Amino acid sequence: TGRPHGGSTVTRHQAQRLTTALRAVLIGLGQGVLLGLAPDADEQYFADTARALVSGVNLVEP
């Protein structure tokens, strides 16, 4: 909490929601790798995905 985001400060509630969302996405990606649905998802892919979620960076060309 208290970290700047989009010019304002992230509240405790927002931080908790973001943590839950990130956890769900990373668990889903991990299960996809284990089930063979995302065999090319390496450690860097997980890091890039998490970074894009918290920073608003677009990983796909427009």
Q: Is residue 61 assigned to a domain?
A: no
**Tokens 């427009």 sit on residue:** 62
Q: Which domain holds residue 14?
A: 4-55
Domains identified in the chain, total number: 1
Q: Is residue 25 assigned to a domain?
A: yes
Bridge partners of residue 5, in order along the sequence:
8
Q: Is residue 60 assigned to a domain?
A: no
Task: Specify the pLDDT at position 59.
Answer: 63
Radius of gyration of the CA atoms of the chain, in A? 14
**Residues 17-50: pLDDT tens digits?**
888 888 888 788 788 878 888 778 788 887 887 7
Q: Is residue 37 assigned to a domain?
A: yes
Signed CA dihedral, 32, 36, 38, 42: sign only = positive
- pLDDT at 13 > cutoff 60: yes
Q: Is residue 62 assigned to a domain?
A: no
Q: Tokens for 6, please give them.
A: 């989009």
